[in-house]
Structure 1
Amino acid sequence: MLEAFIQKKLWHFTLDFQVQINNEILVLWGPSGAGKTTILHCLAGLVKPSSGLIRLNKQVLYSSEDKIHLSPQDRNVGYLFQDYALFPHMTVRQNVMYGLRSKKTFQSNINPVEILNSFGVGHLTDRYPRQLSGGEKQRVALARALAVQPKLLLLDEPFSALDKSTKESLRQEVKKLHRQWQIPFILVTHDEADTHYLGDRIISLNKGQPCQVVGKAN
């Protein structure tokens, strides 16, 4: 379970985010500049909230009251960045291994090829990101994010750079991954189709404030 009750003061508004979710897909939907990505950064430990609490499976990741702010490496949170953040000078295999080695509890028995095979990109292990299509980059980035066996997966605009057919295929893959992993997913999008296909719960944001909270979307 993820519990988050945080505030973050930004220059143009104060972000106020509250949620309790189990193994659901929560979609944060709204226009650019609404605070969606800032929420992901706070949950991942990339940005420190101004106040509040973040707890994942009873582990406190952040508490302003107790002065706790765990580093991203200690949070057991996977993150799929909007631009996938693959290192251009590293092969596909090296990108996945980097994700594993950056985790303090590195598991040397994890085979990156097996992980990539499970995403259908095992044949690309020796290629560089510039040699991959948009869909292939996303699958590699997902493999890297899930290789660390996270307890929470954050996805920032995961389909924004994809063509329509690839986007529809990968929406289905994300849904399938969620059923397999049974952990909370939080997905940021401004696309209404993504929102209603994927969201078990939807929070619509406007200038850091939830303007609508919707239950089961499908």
Structure 2
Amino acid sequence: MDVGYWFVFLSAAVLLTLSPGPDLIYILSRTITQGKKIGFASSLGVCSGALFHVVAAALGLSAILATSAMAFTVVKYVGAAYLIYLGYKALRSAGESFDTESSGEKNVSFWDAFKQGVLIDVLNPKVAVFFMAFLPQFVRPNEGSVTVQLIVLGVIVIVVGLTIEFLFVLLADKATRFLRNSRRFCAWLDRALGTILVGLGVRLALMEKP
């Protein structure tokens, strides 16, 4: 066991998770607007989408996004359109998504939130490029299969990220739980969530190919 190697790798993984990127912003916005259950589901979905990119990077599939401008652009715009669509739905709800008595069937379920998180991450080509750039730096050719190492390292990054995101979800839920009982505040939360999602979609659409 190389202590220095793992210290650098895990420190990098922690710092990357703590940085205010689009994934963390999305998860926190979901938690603040709809509670820790949906926050957990969103985090699990985002991390599952990241796992897809880890496997793709290990198998070399992400090289297509890294080298093909057309593939990168198509995935980018599909992901941006999906985020903007989710934002539009939130903007239209005007607090109804929190009214469990009159519109319980409209509430986002755990499974729906999970699927949304998966799609948001899978349709973000920058995540694929990130794993292709980050993980190979820690591969040690003399330690066995490069593919296996890439997958193991990627899973560790995801587990670290999931742990930290869950802590953020718990803190965000506790800080805003009492405010969600106000219908007026719920309407404001829906508008804020919609604005954030649309903003993330526009940000993704304007992103240049790394």
TM range (shorter): under 0.3
Kindly name which structure, 1 or 2, has the bigger radius of gyration based on alpha carbons. 2
Q: Structure 1 length as normaliser, TM-score?
A: 0.23
Greater helix share, structure number: 2
Greater strand share, structure number: 1
